[in-house]
A = this chain, B = another copy of it.
Amino acid sequence: MGLTLLAPIGSALALLFAALLARKVLKAPEGTDLMKKISLAVRKGANAYLKRQYIGVILFFAVIFVVLMVLAFMGYLTMFVPFAFITGGFFSGLSGFIGMKIATAANARTANAARGSLNSGLRIAFSSGAVMGFVVVGLGLLDISFWYFFLKFWYSDPAHLAVAAGQTFQEAQIQAITSAMLTFGMGASSMALFARVGGGIFTKAADVGADLVGKVEVGIPEDDPRNPAVIADNVGDNVGDVAGMGADLYESYVGSIISTAALAVAAGFGFKGVTIPMVMASIGIIASIIGTFFVSTKEGATQKNLLFALRRGTWISGAIIAVAAFPLIYFGLGKENIGFFFAVLSGLLAGILIGITTEYYTSDTYRPTKKLSSTSLTGPATTIIGGLSLGMLSTVLPVVIVGISVLVSYTVSGGSGSIGDPSFNQGLYGVGLSAVGMLSTLGITLATDAYGPVADNAGGIAEMAGLGEEVRKRTDALDSLGNTTAATGKGFAIGSAALTALTLIASFIAEVQVIDPDFKFELSIINPPVLIGLFVGGVLPFLFAALTMDAVGRAAQSIVVEVRRQFKEIKGLMEGKADPDYAACVDICTKSAQKEMILPAIIAVVSPIVVGLLLGVNGICGMLAGATVSGFILAVMMANAGGAWDNAKKYIESGAHGGKGSDAHKAAVVGDTVGDPFKDTSGPSINILIKLLSMVSIVFAGVIMAFHLF
């Protein structure tokens, strides 16, 4: 399969391109000494946080590694699993780490470039976002390629492989390869969970804490250097929105590819079936690289122009992928299987459509957010009711889009019959390919998304360094655009997580069949273990959301106390004569985030094991389906409500309904504050939850099948 070599080639291209972009970004000057100083403080804070986080994560990984080793020795897992788990976690963490490194290096440079022109600012910010995008896809494909070639080599030795009755050697080989690969997804998911939850708590605790004392009590503007939490706030953008998002999407990316590959044997495609998703991903990388060259703008561009500049890149990449997927499927799977091409298309299209609906519900250029801003006229209560109802309403279209996409990709792929039938598995393989199709544009989609926090930081630096009206206006334009791309990015992340989670459920079933080909599934929704699994799975995202929201509340509270203390104890702080102790706030956020992420992580890892031991494999399937359905809906609701509140507030700040300082504005601030943990902590964490649940189930399938009550 010479075609498979495209995977490491694609990976190398992505990493090379990322390196080139990084060099370009780092060559740009950082600006004045003050700017350098601020940027350094943010960088230091972010490093301190990540260092601390990695220590906690290493402990967690060590524990799980030992557990997996024990299980491997007991024969429930192959010996590769513990190591695959580690590499998945390592690369996921590395993606986030590199992305954050470049983002914290680019913030002052973006502000400085914006002193020249809007386009220079955009190019720097976008390039640094692109570094992260291409690092994620590059490392993802590297990890996949490494394990694929290594395991293929290892299992080519008949001594290493047990061939079941009625199975060809090749089938046994592919199954052994893909089921080992699946397990590194659990490492990636676990890492992503810590990054998302920890980063999410950090960023919102700092944000809310800084605002509550700074803006509300003391009355100084946002991003004012006198605020002791201002650096923590900027650090938070990087550790939450950049590192967290990177680890999250790394995981969706590899998850969709390997879970589709894992369905190859069941669908009857052999090695071809394993290769196709990997090659699709490589095509996506090349298309994304081409797309980046189309992102640029002119001075004086409107919000719409800027958005179009970013979108153009994504659309061009998508078009290239759509064209290239045809010959890939035609020659790769054979013309009788051309239906799978339409599965890829449906995934690509669904990704774009979910982005559009997200934009519709959260951007202040459309009716819903405008209407929401007018609910602020009657106070905070109506603002909250309006935002919640907007969020709930906004879940309908994404559900319909994902539903149609699943149905279309299943049907065009020849899906029919019931579980275990080859045609049924072909249909599921098609659903997997649609997830791969959706995520194939990830290089550039993530670039436009990770661009946001960089622009946000740049705005903060411009403010703190006193760069003047004109520059601030440019960074504001970039930042405001970042809010929209962040919202669509979140929609994309959630949509792809849902599709990936569905494919992972299919992989779990395939994995169970590998372990025990005679296992009889009773997955009927009316079968009590499945039904109860559905309920338990359905409630998990709510529990998760509650825990993470509470965590943000508690962490913000400790920041409030610290900021108040500094304003009281540091003489001359308000007059700008003394420097605040930024590091203390960063430290508190770091500690809180570390402490608060433990319980959610344990719940995510332990739930499937407990449910499995009590309700068996059928119960787990129910739980996974329930969690995917309710998690998808809740995550969309929280992300969109949060985004809409944020933009409704900005809309009022731009002069509507009395503008800044009016009662409507105060009500809108309440909405925005509620929305903060919605959109940046709880909502995105749910994405990971639904995938991690599947991953844990897959890894522990053997144990669960050996010991379970029902």
Contact = CB atoms under 8 A, between A and B. Distances in A.
A388 interface: yes
A89 interface: no
Contact of A534 (B431, B532, B549, B625): B625
Nearest 7 Cβ contacts at the A-B interface: A381-B673, A392-B546, A523-B524, A403-B532, A393-B546, A389-B546, A538-B629
Contacts of A402: 535
A524 B419 contact: yes
* Interface residues of chain A: helix, strand, loop or mixed (majority): helix
A633 B526 contact: no
Interface in A533-579: 534-536, 538-539, 542-543, 545-547, 549-550, 552-553, 557, 560
Interface in A72-131: none
Nearest to A537: B629
A657 to B, nearest CB: 15
13 contacts: A380-B670, A385-B549, A385-B553, A389-B549, A406-B528, A406-B531, A525-B621, A525-B622, A531-B625, A538-B629, A542-B633, A629-B629, A629-B630
Nearest to A417: B522
A525 B526 contact: no
Name the residue in A502, A536, A626, A669 with the highest tally of chain B Cβ atoms < 10 Å from its Cβ.
A626
Given A396-B543, A418-B527, 10 more contacts: A380-B381, A385-B677, A391-B546, A395-B543, A403-B535, A505-B525, A505-B526, A523-B524, A538-B629, A629-B629
A410 interface: yes
Interface string A590-623: 0000000000000000000000000000000110
Interface of A: 212, 216, 375, 378-382, 384-386, 388-393, 395-396, 399-400, 402-403, 406-407, 410-411, 415, 418-419, 424, 427-428, 431, 502, 505-506, 509, 521-532, 534-536, 538-539, 542-543, 545-547, 549-550, 552-553, 557, 560, 621-622, 625-626, 629-630, 632-633, 637, 669-670, 673-674, 677, 710
A664 B415 CA distance: 58
A659 to B, nearest CB: 20
Contacts of A521: 524
A88 to B, nearest CB: 24
Given A395-B542, A549-B385, A626-B629, A526 B621 contact: yes
Name the residue in A419, A528, A625 with the highest tally of chain B Cβ atoms < 10 Å from its Cβ.
A528
B626 A543 contact: no
A215 to B, nearest CB: 12
Nearest to A400: B536
A539 B415 contact: no
Nearest to A216: B379
A593 B699 CA distance: 53
A182 B505 CA distance: 36
Copies in the complex: 2
A375 B393 CA distance: 28
Contacts of A375: 553
A286 B673 CA distance: 53
Given A378-B212, A418-B522, A633 B528 contact: no
A400 B540 CA distance: 11
A390 B542 CA distance: 10
A670 to B, nearest CB: 5
A415 B526 contact: no
A248 B523 CA distance: 32
Contacts of A406: 528, 531-532
A550 B375 CA distance: 11
A701 B307 CA distance: 48
A380 B382 contact: no
B539 A399 contact: yes
A502 B531 CA distance: 9
A615 to B, nearest CB: 8
Nearest to A430: B528
Contact of A526 (B385, B419, B673): B419
A505 B530 CA distance: 14
Contact of A674 (B384, B411, B553, B669): B384
Contact of A509 (B502, B526, B552): B526
B545 A389 contact: yes
A550 B386 CA distance: 7
A536 B399 contact: yes
Contacts of A523: 523-526
A543 B392 contact: yes
A505 to B, nearest CB: 6
A539 B670 contact: no
Nearest to A632: B535
A208 B621 CA distance: 44
A407 B710 contact: yes
B379 A629 contact: no
Contacts of A393: 542-543, 546-547, 550
A337 B522 CA distance: 25
A146 to B, nearest CB: 30
A666 to B, nearest CB: 9
A553 B424 CA distance: 47
A411 to B, nearest CB: 8
Contacts of A389: 545-547, 549-550, 553
A528 B427 contact: yes
A670 B384 CA distance: 9
Contacts of A396: 539, 542-543
A646 B427 CA distance: 50
B380 A539 contact: no
Contacts of A524: 418-419, 521, 523-524
